[in-house]
Chain A
Amino acid sequence: MLDIWKEFPGIIANGGITLQVEEGEIHAILGENGAGKSTLMSILFGLYHADKGIIKVRGKEVNIKSPNDAFDLGIGMVHQHFQLVHNFTVAENIIMGKEGGFVYDIRKASRKIKEISERYGLSIEPDMVIEDITVGMQQRVEILKMLYRDADILIFDEPTAVLTPQEIDELMQIMKNLAAEGKSIILITHKLDEIKAVAKRCTIIRRGKLIGVVDVDKASVEEMAAAMVGRPVSFKVDKAPSRPGKPILEIENLSVMNSKKVLGVKNLSLTVHGGEIIGLAGVDGNGQTELVEAITGLRKAESGTIKFNGKDITGISIAERNAMGLGHIPEDRQKRGLILNAPLTSNMVIKKFTEAPFSNHGILNYPEILGYTEKIIEKFDVRSGEGADSLAGKLSGGNQQKAIIGREITADPDLLIAVQPTRGLDVGAIEYIHKQLVNERDRGKAILLVSFELDEIFNLSDKIAVISGGELIDIVDTADTDEHSVGLLMAGIRKGEEK
């Protein structure tokens, strides 16, 4: 891809970016959110059309108008969100769209799938049904789908966001196998250690501009991060020892149903004090969502009590909980966190619009709302095309998250529940958000951090609570533990049970 230009209203997403990937190479693309990585890949995959620039595949200039053109050229993409039919088998998913004729031969296809799977060490059984296999395996099905279509250029878009540490290692190995077989891999990620582990070269882009191409062997993680963000970045969060105050959140014997009407949280007790960050570690789907929804009032508690600042809040409404000073950075920022087709102004006061000064006797006070929004934009460096009037949906993911965090922190809550606060964000934004959370802690606020990334939990938490199968397995001081022992707890193995 040579000198690619793409402009969106108010933003030059790609300003003359050149990307050259060799055969059999794992090439990483590194850039902050909104730097233009996704735009660039969407152009390569035919979802967008470049305003200017040339794309060459195997030395020949090509015009990619749609994903089908991309397929024909042997370009395949493993999306962040898998595109699989859940009640179909692996084989059926893979051959979908490539059945070849009216009557298709599933057995022949299965044989081919098995062959490919063995060749690259994917260990996938073609007859398994998608909903019965793990997330890691689903991802490998996506990879298989590309290989089945004879793709030579594979694009991985943030592939490790949904995987456990063990699955990440497996994926890294698979990628190396693929490259060894002559496939070219483009890896889009913000995790520098992954780039370090597999990539040969790395193209760094910043704000739509090409910063440089580095040989991964010769550059340090710190250098790459600095090149991406444009300034030195610290990975360790500087924080003083915590000074826990009075208990803010007290959960006693809480049980909550999940959406399948079975207990998602079982008899869980947990206390969070002011001035401390408790990290809730666990593999996705072990009751974190149910617990958070029960605390915030989005889900009913079956039994047990939740006390906030000494008051029982188990049965009260969400609005009352918000008013008492409960802040919540939701897991899904686009579904829960923001109204995407409403301007930032509305989004920033969505929890407060009924209060003075934002409204009086039911009449909105727009100048106050605007002023408040601009304050948050300024303080939390939320970048958007049209300032406070920008639609929330037009912001990049990182800026959407900054806006939500700005809204929650500006409301000055006593307890802040942060669920996956840095999911899918780049190191610059992560560093910033981590700092904000530690700041809040130092101001005496209680913080419950829910994250599937152990690095984040270890970096921020004063104590780590481990949840597995809806039960609280253990609470440990961060200083007294390591990733290995927490990993075991996450698998549900209690101390003493370990061989």
Chain B
Amino acid sequence: MSKRAGNKPLEARKASPLLVSLSAVFLGIVAGCIFILCIGKNPFAGFERILFGALSNTRRIGNTLGMSTQLILIGLSVAFAFKTGLFNIGASGQMLIGGITGSILAFYLPMSMPRPVYLFIVIVAAMATGAFWGFLSGLLKARFNVHEVVSTIMLNWIAYWIVYDFIPRFIIDPTISVKSKPIETAHTLRADWITDITSFSTLNYGFFLAIIMCIVVWFILQKTTLGFNLKAVGSNRFCAEYAGIKVNRSIMISMAIAGALASLAGLTYYCGYSNIMEMGKMPNEGYDGIAVALLGNCSPIGIFFSAIFFGILKMGRGSLAATGIPTEIADTIIATIIYFTATNVILASFWNKIFRSGFSKKEGAAIAAMKQKGIAKPIEQLSREEFRTLAKEGKTLVNKDKKEGR
């Protein structure tokens, strides 16, 4: 048991979160194939259609990325709260808050305003109202010990009815009286140059905002005292309290930041991806974001890719209908993936077992090689390179032994 400062001990590999997530995706796709086979269709044709629908031309790629935008931001929101030990189910309501803030400002701010100034104002305003919305849950938890799952769900409905009231009050479309007026393109997050290169897709500045937020969240969690603070509270609030960290304050800050991120998602959704808000519609994306965060292992880079993956499934499913495969198959695949992600412990132990048996085979080979060469050194003291070459040499020895029937 020698001390190897900064040096990992020689041991079997461990399943990484990436491998576990990829396994979940793989199993989800396999399950999807089985479903498609069950209804007597060709699964490869089905997946070919999904990929075709999502990625076959620049417009479709643009739409997929446009769809992924809000999934990235919601995934970040859920993951951020999760790191502080909080479960943010309220992303849907926070999205609505961000959407209504952006939509109202879009009509009440003058068109003459310079675009960068306008964009800056709506982004800050949407994040601020969303932060307030998240903060309310944090406050309820910190002050009155109301569980955030309960408070965020209730706040979802409060947001829902606020939108229901505000649309007719401020921004109703008189011709279709259940929707808001479409926002002028100059007051959405869309940009001509993006629309041009992606042939009128829904892709907008929101996608870049999402990428920036991935970096910001990564930076906060990994490099700042704030992130340290929040993670400490999330991992062991008793220890955090003992160390002098203000647990209640951390809970409120974390929920506020999560709210701001989800609200930003709402802004990109209602004032970028789309340009209207409907009355009486709770966005599903708030719940999809939980799946995105889980599959992405709550890390910003993981969330980015898992959001794009879900975006592909969501955009591509529309094209499934042409093959006679019901579009619900895509939803089933998503659900199956979530299921397998939730059982990540089983997946990880499956891989660990495989790695361990591979490692002990190598170890046996290395010992055989060492015996032949007469190296008398405990195997733990070998360096990685030595171990690797010895294992290779030993393998041929072991195989030869086997052939000779020993």
Contacts and interface: CB of A to CB of B under 8 A. Distances in A.
Interface residues on B, range: 20 to 34
B284 interface: no
Interface in A350-397: 350-351, 353-354, 359, 362-364, 374, 377, 383-389
24 contacts: A10-B9, A11-B1, A296-B242, A297-B244, A298-B241, A318-B244, A321-B244, A322-B243, A322-B244, A323-B244, A335-B238, A336-B239, A336-B241, A342-B236, A346-B228, A350-B245, A364-B227, A364-B228, A385-B1, A386-B4, A386-B8, A386-B9, A387-B4, A388-B6
A391 to B, nearest CB: 10
B376 to A, nearest CB: 17
A402 interface: no
A340 B240 CA distance: 12
B7 interface: yes
Given A350-B243, A351-B243, A377-B5, 19 more contacts: A9-B9, A9-B12, A10-B9, A296-B242, A319-B244, A335-B238, A336-B239, A337-B239, A337-B242, A339-B239, A339-B240, A340-B236, A341-B235, A342-B235, A346-B232, A351-B244, A363-B224, A374-B5, A388-B6
A328 interface: yes
Contacts of A323: 244
B235 A385 contact: no
A388 B5 contact: yes
A330 interface: yes
Contact of A339 (B3, B5, B226, B232): B232
B112 interface: no
A208 B380 CA distance: 15
B242 A318 contact: yes
A55 B154 CA distance: 58
Interface string B1-21: 101111111011000000000
A446 to B, nearest CB: 20
B6 A387 contact: yes
Interface of B: 1, 3-9, 11-12, 223-229, 231-232, 235-236, 238-246
Interface in A71-120: none
Interface string A397-438: 000000000000000000000000000000000000000000
A24 B180 CA distance: 85
A37 interface: no
Interface string A1-19: 0000000011110000000
Nearest to B4: A387
Given A10-B11, A11-B1, A340-B236, A298 B242 contact: yes
Given A318-B244, A319-B244, A335 B9 contact: no
A210 interface: no
| Across the A-B interface, the 8 shortest Cβ-Cβ residue pairs | A319-B244, A10-B9, A387-B5, A318-B244, A350-B243, A339-B236, A336-B242, A339-B235
A67 to B, nearest CB: 20
Interface in A196-252: 207-208
A208 B1 CA distance: 10
A328 B242 contact: yes
A362 B226 contact: yes
B237 to A, nearest CB: 10
Contacts of A385: 1, 9
Given A346-B228, A364-B223, A383 B1 contact: yes
Nearest to B242: A336
B68 to A, nearest CB: 30
A404 to B, nearest CB: 10
B223 A317 contact: no
A321 B229 CA distance: 18
A346 B236 CA distance: 12
A364 B244 CA distance: 18
A338 interface: yes
Nearest to B378: A12
A338 B243 contact: no
B6 A12 contact: no
B6 A389 contact: yes
Contacts of A359: 224-225
Contacts of A377: 5
A363 B241 contact: no
Given A9-B9, A342-B231, A383-B3, A364 B224 contact: yes
Contact of A353 (B4, B6, B228): B228
Contacts of A319: 244-246
Contacts of A374: 5
Interface string A448-478: 0000000000000000000000000000000
Contacts of B244: 297, 317-323, 351
Interface string A284-301: 000000000000111000
Contact of B239 (A322, A335, A388): A335
